[in-house]
A and B are shown apart, each in its own frame.
Chain A
Amino acid sequence: MASLGANTIAILIALGSFPVSLALTRFFMYWNSGHGITGIDVHKLNRPKVPEMVGVAVPLTIVLFAAIYSLIEGASSIPLLAYSLVVGLAALVGALDDRLKMRGIFKPLFTLLCGLPILILGVMFPGQIYNSTLHVPLFGGYHLPVIYPLTILVAVSVTSNTVNMLDPLNGSMAGGISIVAGGLLIGSILIGAGSTPIFLYASLMFSLLGFLYYNRFPAVAFAGNVGQLSIGASVGALAILGRTEIASIVAIFPNIQNSFFFLSRIRRFTEHRELISRPTKLLPDGRLADSGDPRAPLTLVRTLLIGRPATENQIVSTIWMLFLTSTSLAVITLLLTGVVI
C-alpha cells in the first residue's frame, strides 16, 4: 500500500462502493416491495409495479464510504463530514417527499437548508471546506468573501432539484450522473486535485453504477426523491469541495436545459404528478412520442421526440450521449481553469 499514490488508494477504496451499492439496492428492492413502497412504470405497455425509493442505497453507500475513507485519511474528516451531512439531509428531504407527497414549492425550500453543513463547518474551520476564490477558465479568478458562502445554499438546492427533475425514464438520471461524476473524476485527476475530491467523485460514480444495474431498462428499481435529491445534492456539494464549480454547471447542462424549460412553461415549482398535460405519450407499439399538447412543458425528452417517436432505450441512450458531450466540455473547462490568457 505504501508504494501506491494517495489518489490510487482513494479510487481503490471508492471501488468498494460498487458492490455495496449493488447489495443495498437489491435489499431495498425486496424490502420496499414487501412494504408496498412501489410505483407504476407508466412508460411500459403492461404498466409494471416497480419498487420505489430504492435510490436510498446510493446516499447510504456514499455516507458509509465517506466514513471509511475518513478513518483511513483522518485529515480529511471535516470536509467528509460536511459532504455526508449534505447528502444525508437531502436524502431525508427526499424521503419525506416520497412518503408525504409535499407540494412542489417545498422541495426547493427544504433543499436550501441542505447546504448549511458546508456553510457552518466552513465558517468553523476556515479553509478546510471551501475557498472563497473562484477559479475561472482562461481568466484567472477572483475573491468572493461575501457572495461565495451565500451561493453554497443556492448551489446545493439547484443541483438537487435539477437532478430530481431529469429522471423520467429508466436509467436516465443514474446513467447521466455517473457520466458526470466519471468525467469530473478524470478532470480532477488531470488537474492534480486532492485525493479527497477524487475519492468522492469515484465513490459517487461507483455507487451510482451499482444502482444503475437494477435501474437500467427495463428498470426493476426506481430511485425515488430520496435517491434523486441526495445524488443532486452530492453533485452540488462536490462542486464546492472539489473546486469544480464552473465545470459542474457545464456538466449538468442537460439537467439545466430540462429544468429551465419546464419552469419557463409551467411558471411555478410543481411536481410531475400534479401536471394535467403530459409532455409525452405512449404509443400502442410501446414507443414514446411527443404528446403535442401545447400546455405541456417542453422537457428534454419531449424535444428529442418532436415529430419522431422512439423507444425508451433509444431516448435514454441519447440522453447519456448528451451528458457525455456536456461532461467532455466540463473536462475541457477544468483543464482551462489552470490556463490564464
Chain B
Amino acid sequence: MNKRAVGYELVVFVTQWGLILIGFGILTKLVAPLNLLDTTLSLGRIFDAGMKGLIALILSVAWLFIWDRQVRRYFQRRPRQ
C-alpha cells in the first residue's frame, strides 16, 4: 500500500471540501441575489434561473478542474528511480 498516496487522497478530499463550501457560499451570497433578467417578463424567471444555473455549472467545472489538477500532480508523476 502506498501510504503517501493515501495521504494525498486525504489532502485532495479536504481541499475539495473547502472549495465546495466556498463555492456554495459564492452562489448563496453573490449569485442568488442578482437580478440578471427582469423576472416580471414572461419566461424571465426561467431565463434568470438558467443564467444562474450556468454560473453554478461553471463553478462546478472549475471545482472538478482543480480536483483533476491535484490528482495529476500527485499521482501521475514519474516514479523516482
Contact = CB atoms under 8 A, between A and B. Distances in A.
Interface of A: 134, 136-147, 246, 249-250, 253-254, 257, 260-261, 264, 298, 300, 303-308, 310, 314-315, 318, 321-322, 325-326, 329, 333, 336
A134 B31 CA distance: 14
A307 B10 CA distance: 18
B1 A305 contact: yes
Nearest to A287: B1
A250 B13 CA distance: 8
A212 B30 CA distance: 45
B49 A142 contact: no
B75 A306 contact: yes
Interface residues of B, number: 35
Given A260-B67, A303-B5, A306-B79, A329 B17 contact: yes
24 contacts: A136-B24, A136-B25, A136-B27, A141-B28, A142-B28, A143-B32, A144-B49, A146-B49, A250-B17, A250-B20, A257-B67, A300-B9, A303-B8, A303-B9, A303-B75, A304-B1, A308-B1, A314-B1, A322-B10, A322-B13, A325-B13, A329-B14, A333-B17, A336-B21
Nearest to B10: A325
Given A137-B24, A253-B13, A318-B6, 16 more contacts: A134-B24, A139-B29, A142-B32, A147-B49, A147-B52, A246-B20, A246-B24, A253-B16, A257-B67, A298-B71, A303-B2, A303-B8, A315-B1, A325-B13, A326-B13, A336-B21
Interface string B9-50: 110111011001100110111001000000000000110011
Interface of B: 1-3, 5-6, 8-10, 12-14, 16-17, 20-21, 24-25, 27-29, 32, 45-46, 49-50, 52-53, 56, 64, 67-68, 71, 75-76, 79
B49 A304 contact: no
A257 B71 contact: yes
A132 B19 CA distance: 23
Nearest to B30: A139
A136 B30 CA distance: 13
